[in-house]
Structure 1
Amino acid sequence: MTSAFEPVPPDPWAPPAAPRPTRTGTNPWHLLLAAAGGAALVGALWVGLDLAGSGAPAGIPANSGEAFDLRGTFTLNSGGYGYSTCGGSGGYSDISPGTAVTVYNAAGTVLSQGALGTGRPNGTGSCVFTLSAPNVPAGEKFYLVEVSHRGRIMVQPEDARNGNVALSLGN
């Protein structure tokens, strides 16, 4: 006869019970090592992305600190100008002296904002305005120039630097 209070012998085939780990806290050296490793990784990525995606033509650093004034002309071909007045009307009423000129880089970031200058009739029913935007950073592969809200036009860096920007609108 067995007693209800007799202990049951342990199963000889059962794996031994693992002791429960106790948390003793985080070693401050581990935190310092993790922070240094993270900083090194961020620094390496920053340098790598800067070298890989600078967007600068050969020989010109992207962030060289150089800037230039973009200059050129904007011709509005809408007809009907008198000898002394020059500006858009009807669907072109947004084109006049002082109209916004915006310069963007390839990523669409605004680099500079300028304006149309005084327009002059050219005798063929068109109006030719001066166009300028100051302090455009050098080193882009190309520039996108927009007058008013009329869409961005790609301009080569040589033309932008040398004042050879010539945009037009209308027939």
Structure 2
Amino acid sequence: MTSAFEPTQPDPWMPPQPLPPVRTRTNLWHLFFAGLAGAALVGALWVGLDLAHSGSPSAPGGSSGETFDLRGTFTLNSSGYGYSACGGSGDYSDITTGTAVTVYDAAGTVLSQGALGTGRPDGAGTCVFSLAAPNVPSGEKFYLVEVSHRGRIMVQPEDARAGKVALTLGN
């Protein structure tokens, strides 16, 4: 039986008694093998992920690392150039040797920048320029090619890689 003077719960005015220290013993071999197992697991995951991605098609943006030089022609149907020089005049004065050629991916990210080469006359009022943009990343579903500020034209990857890009401006 409990007396009314014996406390059944700890006295709230008394500070708590510290617990006796717990002695733990860590075996160094356990730590060594746990570290070795962790390193083996990380290595296995790394190799597994690398093998999983090695057979997959390249991701957008050409993550495979392969590149190619986009080549083709740009035909300007205009008038006003002399027989010794080939280039645009009037509304087409921005089209000449060295005019910027920009290649974009579907999202509008610039992939490469090149230029028009020397143009050659090809009939009355027509000038044909070589077109080139180096180191275009492979693996895109399509490419958008823009000469100067004249708008982006969609080009299929097969044509881009084969040098069969043929763009035209003017009537």
State whether TM-score is above 0.5.
Answer: yes
**Residues 69-96 of structure 1, C-alpha deviations (whole Å, 9 max, x = no match):** 0000000001243321100110001000
Q: Which runs of 5+ in 2 are unaligned?
A: 1-48
Equivalent residue in structure 1 for 2:58, among 56, 61, 64: 61
Give the superposition deviation at 1:115.
0.3
The letter for the 2-side match of 1:79 is S
Q: Distance in 1 between matches of 2:85 and 2:136?
A: 31
CA contact (8 A) 1:82 1:121 kept: no
Deviation of 1:162 (Å): 0.4
Q: Which amino acid is 1:85 matched to?
A: A
Aligned partner of residue 96 in structure 1, secondary structure: coil
Whichever residue aligns with residue 122 of structure 2, its letter is: N
Cα deviation 1:57-113 (Å, max 9, x = unaligned): xx7423211000000000000124332110011000100000000000000000000
Contact in 2 for aligned 1:70/1:134 (Cα 8 Å): yes
Q: Distance in 1 between matches of 2:82 and 2:94?
A: 18
Shift of 1:124: 3.0
Matches within 5 A, 1:86-165: 86-165=86-165
Q: How much has 1:123 moved relative to structure 2?
A: 2.0
Distance 1:121 1:81 in 2: 9
Q: Is the 8 A contact 2:115 2:133 kept in 1?
A: yes
Q: Structure 1-normalised TM-score?
A: 0.64
Aligned-residue offset at 1:168: 0.6
Distance 1:124 1:158 in 2: 32
Which runs of 4 or more aligned residues in structure 1 lie more than 6 Å from their structure 2 counterparts after TM superposition?
none
Partner of 1:83: 83
Contact kept in structure 2, 1:119 and 1:129, CA below 8 Å: yes
- Aligned-CA RMSD value: 1.9
TM-score w.r.t. the length of structure 2 is: 0.64
Partner AA of 2:87 in structure 1: G
Measure the CA separation in 1 of the matches of 2:94 and 2:84.
Answer: 19
Structure 1 residue 150, shift from structure 2 partner: 0.3
Measured in 1, the distance between the counterparts of 2:155 and 2:58 equals: 19
Q: Which residue of 2 aligns with 1:40?
A: none
Distance in 2 (CA, whole Å) between partners of 1:78 and 1:129 is: 13
**Which amino acid in structure 2 is aligned with residue 61 of structure 1?**
S
Aligned pairs, how many? 116
